[in-house]
Amino acid sequence: MLRDLVSGIQHVGIPTINIDRTVDFYQGLGFDLAFSTTDDSGNLDVAFLKLKNLVIETYQEGTELSQTGSINHIAIDVNDVEEVFKKLMEKNYDILDKEINFLPFWQNGVKFFTIKGPNNEQIEFSEML
């Protein structure tokens, strides 16, 4: 079974039409630029951004987004969702939720909110209670 072979998510791929803007956005959230490159033809720019054990690969290939599909959201575990909400409001991030949400998931529930990234991706900040 794959369960015995999988150790976690390696990375999440997000296509972009402006790699510099995307890198700046995620660095503003605390991600570090772990690796970046351009292919030999100069047609593909790639950047890997890392925050603890979460890695995002963003890539730009031309001026149009690929048609391969998209990710609905990326969820990031946090220890204090209220503090994260406050900090991102102060920095004028595009917060999609007017307040922190609660769902009765897992044993004690989860509190979360979502922001919009520069490529219309949704980034959820989630605290398991």
64, 88, 108 — which closes off a domain?
64
Longest dimension (CA), the chain: 52
| Kind and range of the H or E run holding 22 | helix 19-28
Asked if residue 61 has pLDDT above 90, the reply is no
Q: Which residue has the tokens 């980034």?
A: 123
Instruction: Give the model's confidence band at 33: pLDDT under 50 very low, under 70 low, under 90 confident, else very high.
Output: very high
| Kind and range of the H or E run holding 15 | strand 12-16
* Structural domain containing residue 128: 71-129
Count how many domains the chain has.
2
Query: Considering the entire predicted model, what is its pTM?
Result: 0.73
CATH number for position 4: 3.10.180.10
- Asked if residue 28 and residue 6 are part of one domain, the reply reads yes
Q: Which residue has the tokens 């575990």?
A: 77
- Asked if residue 2 and residue 58 are part of one domain, the reply reads yes
Exposed, middle or buried by CB within 10 Å (0-12, 13-18, 19+), for 95? middle
Mean pLDDT calculated for residue range 122-127:
91
- pLDDT for position 100: 97
